[in-house]
């Protein structure tokens, strides 16, 4: 469990509701929670119906529910809660290690906890939820992102891949088999592997060869990204063109980021660079008319996208994207690199990498960019002018390669 770094704003106590049919489990989990985080408010419910009645009348931020309960199952409770209270973060708690059970609740739960719960995992989870809530203060906006019917859940193939990679005996063949179940993702992965996207180009034509060429960290990141982008269907021509630009911009940013960054795991760099603008997809999907007005204003005036978003929506795509990735439990350096990709300066090595990659993309006049092409990169601590020139030249070469691919 990764723990997000501290953020500045103070917040009221987090309200957590524990649901289990076993009073012993409720008592011990409640004790563990209070010991781990004495500042949070803990309530308990003895089953699904009691939980639904509770959230109707009491402020609740997070619900942690057992899955195997008599009467209303945890899966049904999660389903009903996502419709009635989409702003509440839903955590699946299960003693079963069955993949099928986990999958049934993949579209319903934001995160998963296994019994017996380790205090470290619980503390990490609660701490992350607290900070994520502070990232998006507005309950309505949180509801927009965590909403029910068309919730962009963690892509199913990604969840299965994570399970597969957790096994010691996992081979390239096993990974290929998992990915092979999803034809669209396999096709997209093959396309990326055989293009000049990565330095090593895959000469073969099987998913297994593509997996070997790209390496597991990149494959995992790509499967996640491809599944995520697919979850958002553009609703009009402007949105379609915008998404196409976003994708090519994400590819370019990923190549640049990989060249700049030497300190972070490659999977983190790929995910943060590819998904840095995922908040735009969420907003386009959730508030299509309002976001269309934002896009029009940006196209008409050339003003930075995040400034117009802030003015017209009261939230930016950086915040929304980071919130979604945090809800899905992605590693904290990725969440914060996405949250701060339009910040002025500072932050971790990954934040700095993504910020520079995004700005270099803008400089070479990528139409998907939300910076004016003439934007200069502000002095970043530790960046030498020679280094910047080198990256700038690399960005221009990469853009040419990608365009001719």
In the complex, which residues of this chain contact Fe ion (CB under 5 A)?
277, 370
**Closer to Fe ion at the Cβ: 62 or 294?**
294
**Closer to Fe ion at the Cβ: 351 or 370?**
370
**Closer to Fe ion at the Cβ: 65 or 369?**
369
Write down the least CB distance from residue 224 to Fe ion, Å.
18
Largest CA distance in the chain: 66
Write down the least CB distance from residue 276 to Fe ion, Å.
6
Give the Cα separation of 110 and 89 in Å (integer): 7
Residues with Cβ within 8 Å of residue 223, at least 6 apart in sequence: 155, 157, 158, 161, 179, 185, 189
**Closer to Fe ion at the Cβ: 67 or 250?**
250
Write down the least CB distance from residue 358 to Fe ion, Å.
6
**Closer to Fe ion at the Cβ: 19 or 362?**
362
Residue by residue, what is the 3-state secondary structure of 139-195?
HHHHHHHHCCCCCCCCCHHHHHHHHHHHCCCCCHHHHHHHHHCCHHHHHHHHHHHHC
Please provide the distance, in angstroms rounded to a whole number, between the alpha carbons at the two ends of the chain. 39
CA-nearest of 274, 283, 345 to 310 is: 283
- Whether the bond between 120 and the residue before it is cis, its omega within 30 degrees of 0, is no
Write down the least CB distance from residue 352 to Fe ion, Å.
15
- The answer to whether the beta carbons of residues 292 and 236 sit under 8 Å apart is yes
Give the Cα separation of 157 and 185 in Å (integer): 9
- The answer to whether the beta carbons of residues 336 and 363 sit under 8 Å apart is no
**Closer to Fe ion at the Cβ: 160 or 277?**
277
**Closer to Fe ion at the Cβ: 214 or 253?**
253
Q: What sign does the dihedral 264-266-271-276 (CA atoms) show?
A: positive
Write down the least CB distance from residue 298 to Fe ion, Å.
11
Write down the least CB distance from residue 327 to Fe ion, Å.
19
CA-nearest of 33, 26, 29, 31 to 51 is: 26
CA-nearest of 142, 112, 133 to 11 is: 133
- Give the residue closest to Fe ion by C-beta: 277
For tokens 């993504």, the residue is: 354
**Closer to Fe ion at the Cβ: 20 or 370?**
370
Write down the least CB distance from residue 401 to Fe ion, Å.
23
Write down the least CB distance from residue 355 to Fe ion, Å.
10
């Amino acid at each position: 469990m990764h723990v997000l770094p501290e953020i500045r704003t103070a917040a009221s106590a987090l309200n957590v509701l524990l649901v289990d049919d076993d009073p012993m489990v409720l008592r011990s989990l409640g004790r563990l929670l209070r010991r781990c985080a004495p500042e949070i408010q803990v309530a308990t419910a003895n089953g699904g119906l009691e939980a639904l009645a509770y959230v109707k009348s009491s402020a609740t931020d997070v619900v942690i529910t057992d899955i195997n309960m008599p009467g209303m199952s945890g899966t049904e409770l999660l389903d009903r809660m996502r419709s009635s209270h989409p702003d509440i973060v839903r955590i699946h708690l299960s003693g079963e290690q069955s993949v099928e059970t986990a999958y049934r609740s993949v579209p319903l739960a934001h995160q998963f906890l296994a019994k017996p719960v380790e205090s470290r995992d619980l503390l990490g989870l609660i701490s992350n939820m607290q900070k994520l809530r502070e990232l998006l203060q507005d309950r309505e906006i949180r509801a927009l992102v965590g909403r029910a019917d068309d919730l962009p859940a963690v892509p199913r193939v990604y969840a299965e891949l994570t399970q597969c990679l957790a096994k010691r005996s996992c081979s390239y063949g096993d990974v290929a088999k998992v990915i092979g179940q999803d034809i669209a993702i396999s096709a997209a992965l093959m396309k990326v592997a055989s293009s000049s996207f990565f330095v090593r180009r895959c000469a073969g034509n099987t998913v297994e060869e593509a997996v070997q060429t790209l390496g597991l960290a990149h494959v995992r990141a790509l499967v996640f990204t491809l599944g995520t982008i697919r979850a958002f269907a553009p609703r009009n021509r402007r949105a379609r063109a915008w998404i196409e630009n976003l994708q090519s911009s994400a590819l370019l940013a990923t190549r640049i980021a990989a060249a700049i960054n030497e300190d972070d795991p490659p999977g983190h760099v790929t995910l943060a660079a590819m998904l840095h603008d995922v908040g735009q997809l969420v907003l386009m999907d959730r508030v299509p008319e309002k976001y269309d007005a934002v896009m029009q204003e940006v196209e008409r005036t050339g003003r930075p996208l995040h400034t117009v978003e802030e003015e017209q929506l009261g939230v930016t795509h950086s915040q929304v994207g980071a919130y979604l990735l945090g809800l899905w439990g992605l590693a904290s350096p990725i969440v914060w690199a996405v949250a701060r990709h339009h910040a002025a300066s500072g932050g971790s090595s990954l934040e700095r990498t993504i910020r520079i990659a995004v700005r270099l993309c803008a400089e070479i006049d990528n139409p998907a960019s939300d910076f004016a092409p003439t934007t200069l990169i502000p002095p970043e601590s530790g960046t030498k002018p020679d280094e910047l020139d080198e990256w700038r030249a690399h960005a221009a070469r990469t853009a040419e390669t990608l365009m001719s691919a």
